[in-house]
Amino acid sequence: MQSRITAISAYTPGRIVPNSYFETIVDTSDEWIQTRTGVIERRFTAEDEYTTHLCFKALRNLLQDNPEISVSDVDFIIVATSTPDHSVPSVASQVQNEFNIPGCGTLDVASACAGFVYGLILAKGLIAAGTHKKILVFGAENLSRFTDFSNRNLCILFGDAAGLALVEQSAENKIFDSLSGTDGSMGKELYRSSLSTLINNVPVIADARTHQNGRLVFKWVVQTISENLIKLADKNGLNLAAIDWIILHSANLRILEAISKNIGYPLERMPQSIKYFGNTSSASIPLAWNIALMDGRIKKGDKILLMGFGGGMTFAGLMVEW
């Protein structure tokens, strides 16, 4: 069975947080933040707003923009998130309840910033197996709840958002080959602890806040993603010049610039969501995709490489045609 992505949507919360806010709480500057990360502002959830609410609003946006689409026959919901409202029940099951979707499988995926692309790969596989036909894949994060606002290395990076794709069985195939990989030995370089105080038997700061070795993560990402973008295009029988758009996880504008330079692919053809939304982890790819659809850059028939990467360290890439 073949599949395609039939709709993309997103939602970002209303509270806009400019760089100047961080100048009031830590020793930093708008100039430092923009120079090192490219971030100008980000959005944070309201007190009573959680990842489930971001998903509900993103799906409502999708239905409003595509009145011909109904979710009553959706048969599986995947939510990529590292910031679920609860460990149990899943965010996906709360989406099922909110939209009253009968008899629907639900699954949360915990692959940090790579989660949305992992979700698309799973959706393609379920449809290819012939067991499912219509699948919602979300990337949604409430990262501001887990940020240590006294850590100037990290608090300036993150934002909250949700994005989603509708993946459907299709007469024509528009979701092509994927690849994925992990280096679990890098686990403690980007983490948020839960029950244990050890990662790979090494003690870590177990305060349920995000921690990272920024320099090491930067280097790993630039090298791994540059190599694997070329491999992904090759696996799909194309060279990068034949790809219309590359949408990477918007981790940091400097990472996107370094990858663009490494692989000789123009930055202008790499839609991003980092400047006005910060690093929104699993939500950043559908968010950037939605922006590029709304402003008319991405057109029907365009070939797109997607690649998410992050905590694990892990990555997942996929080629699609819009």
Residues that are catalytic: 113, 249, 279
Of 14, 68, 215, 296, the one binding ligand COA (CB under 6 A) is 215
* Sign of torsion over alpha carbons 210, 211, 217, 218: positive
Instruction: Name the segment binding ligand COA (CB under 6 A); options: 96-104, 131-139, 210-218, 238-246.
Output: 210-218
Taking CB under 6 A as the rule, does residue 229 contact ligand COA?
A: no
At 15, the amino acid letter reads R
Instruction: Name the segment binding ligand COA (CB under 6 A); options: 92-100, 135-143, 249-257, 290-298.
Output: 249-257
* Cα 200-203-204 angle, rounded to 5 deg: 100
Please list, in sequence order, all residues whose beta carbon lies within 8 angstroms of the beta carbon of residue 282, skipping any fewer than 6 positions away: 80, 81, 82, 111, 112, 113, 114, 115, 116, 139, 140, 141, 308
Q: Which of residues 20-79 bind ligand COA (CB under 6 A)?
A: 28, 32, 36-37
Note whether 308 and 141 are within 8 A (CB). no
Q: Which of residues 93-152 bind ligand COA (CB under 6 A)?
A: 113, 152
Taking CB under 6 A as the rule, does residue 156 contact ligand COA?
A: yes
Q: Which residue is nearest to ligand COA (CB)?
A: 214
| Pick from 102, 56, 99: nearest CA to 79 | 56
Of 252, 273, 282, 290, the one binding ligand COA (CB under 6 A) is 252
Taking CB under 6 A as the rule, does residue 310 contact ligand COA?
A: yes
Question: With respect to ligand COA, which residue has the nearer C-beta, 54 or 255?
Answer: 255
* CB 190 to ligand COA: min, Å: 6
Question: With respect to ligand COA, which residue has the nearer C-beta, 45 or 281?
Answer: 281
Instruction: Name the segment binding ligand COA (CB under 6 A); options: 96-104, 122-130, 177-185, 213-221.
Output: 213-221
Tokens encoding 295: 């402003």
Note whether 226 and 279 are within 8 A (CB). no
Question: With respect to ligand COA, which residue has the nearer C-beta, 66 or 153?
Answer: 153
Helix 284-294 and helix 115-128, axial crossing angle in degrees, nearest 10: 80
Taking CB under 6 A as the rule, does residue 153 contact ligand COA?
A: yes
Question: With respect to ligand COA, which residue has the nearer C-beta, 22 or 245?
Answer: 22
Q: Hey, which bits of 98-160 come out as E strands?
A: 105-109, 134-141
Instruction: Classify each residue of 102-128 as buried b or exposed e, where b means 16 or more C-beta atoms within 10 Å of its C-beta.
Output: eebbbbbbebbbbbbbbbbbbbbebbe
Taking CB under 6 A as the rule, does residue 214 contact ligand COA?
A: yes
Taking CB under 6 A as the rule, does residue 218 contact ligand COA?
A: yes
Question: With respect to ligand COA, which residue has the nearer C-beta, 215 or 300?
Answer: 215
Q: Looking at 90-188, list the stretches that DSSP marks H as alpha helix, in order from N- to C-terminal side.
A: 91-98, 115-128
Question: With respect to ligand COA, which residue has the nearer C-beta, 37 or 52?
Answer: 37
Q: What is the dihedral of CA 240, 246, 249, 255, to 10 degrees?
A: 60
Distance CA 93, CA 87 (A): 12
Q: Kindly list the residues in this chain that would bind ligand COA in the complex (CB under 6 A).
A: 28, 32, 36-37, 113, 152-153, 156, 212, 214-215, 217-218, 221, 251-252, 255, 279, 309-310
